[in-house]
Amino acid sequence: MASAGNLLCVLAMAATAALAVASSWELCDKYKSYSVKIKDVEVLPDPVVSGQDAAFVVPASTSVPIKSGTVIVTVLWHNIPVHREVDDLCEKTKCPIAAGDFVLNSTQALPGFTPSGKYKIRMQIVQGSSLLACANIQFQIVWRRLDAAA
């Protein structure tokens, strides 16, 4: 028969696993036809761990060549904006982008004090005044386990 301590440990691990929600994404406006078609969004690791790097890999395609642009990332924690970044598109992928498939890559170093919880990123790809793509990415940040720090 399992001891009460072992049972509590198993229940705690099960509860932690149940809280870890896989990332998901959706277009900002599913009825809009964006010039850049986002195919998927991969968040690595999933869930993201506080104090470690988080990578976002976004395979996409375009029917027209793109010479330049801007990637705007707004991070929300419990629907409260906590961070905003504006980056050159060519820092996230190789430019010029020929018509066809391409991949945006973004890595963010998270401070160890980043609060755990559910987050949302609104990622927009803009060229001049034109919105080429927009996606909402839901993901979770969890605290790094103390025994994993060693």
pLDDT band of residue 2 (cuts 50, 70, 90) is: very low
Selected residue with higher pLDDT from 20 and 41: 41
pLDDT of amino acid 65: 94
1: pLDDT strictly greater than 60: no
Set out the domains of the chain in order of their start, with CATH numbers: 22-144 (2.70.220.10)
- pTM above 0.85? no
pLDDT at 3 over 90: no
Cβ–Cβ under 8 Å, residues 60 and 36: yes
Contact (Cβ atoms closer than 8 angstroms) between residue 119 and residue 138: yes
Q: What is the mean pLDDT of the chain?
A: 84
Residue 26 CB coordination number (10 Å): 12
Amino acid identity, residue 53? D
Q: Are 22 and 46 in contact (CB under 8 A)?
A: yes
Whether the pLDDT of residue 19 is over 80: the answer is: no
> What are the residues whose beta carbons fall under 8 Å from the beta carbon of 15, sequence distance 6 or more?
none
21, pLDDT greater than 70: no
